[in-house]
Amino acid sequence: MRQAMERMENRGFRAVPIIDEDNKYVGTLSEGDLLWKFKNTPGLTLKGTEKVMLKDIPRRMDNQPVRIYASINDLITLVIDQNFVPVVDDHDVFIGIIRRREVLEHYTKQNQTDEKQEKAKSYNYAGHILADASI
Instruction: Count the Cβ atoms, other than its own, within 10 Å of residue 34.
Output: 19
- pLDDT, residue 121, reads 60
Question: Which tens digits make up the pLDDT trace of 60-75?
Answer: 989 999 999 998 889 8
Q: How far apart are CA 18 and CA 28, in angstroms?
A: 6
C-alpha distances in Å from residue 14, one per residue of 9, 43, 70, 117, 133: 8, 24, 24, 38, 62
Torsion, Cα of 87, 53, 3, 5 (10° steps)? 80
Prediction pTM value: 0.72
Helices 72-79, 100-133: crossing angle, 10 deg rounding: 130
Q: Are 3 and 47 in contact (CB under 8 A)?
A: no
C-alpha distances in Å from residue 112, one per residue of 46, 77, 79, 106, 109: 48, 20, 20, 10, 5
The total number of structural domains that make up the chain: 1
> What separation, in Å, do the N-terminal and C-terminal C-alpha atoms of the chain show?
78
Q: How far apart are CA 110 and CA 128, in angstroms?
A: 27
List the domain range (segments joined by +) for residue 11: 2-133
- pLDDT, residue 88, reads 94
Task: Compare 48 and 117 and report the one with higher pLDDT.
Answer: 48
User: Which of the four pLDDT bands, split at 50, 70 and 90, describes residue 123?
Assistant: low
Task: Kindly state the average pLDDT of the residues 2-29.
Answer: 92
**What CATH number did the domain enclosing 37 receive?**
3.10.580.10
CA-based R_g, the chain, Å: 23
- pLDDT, residue 122, reads 56
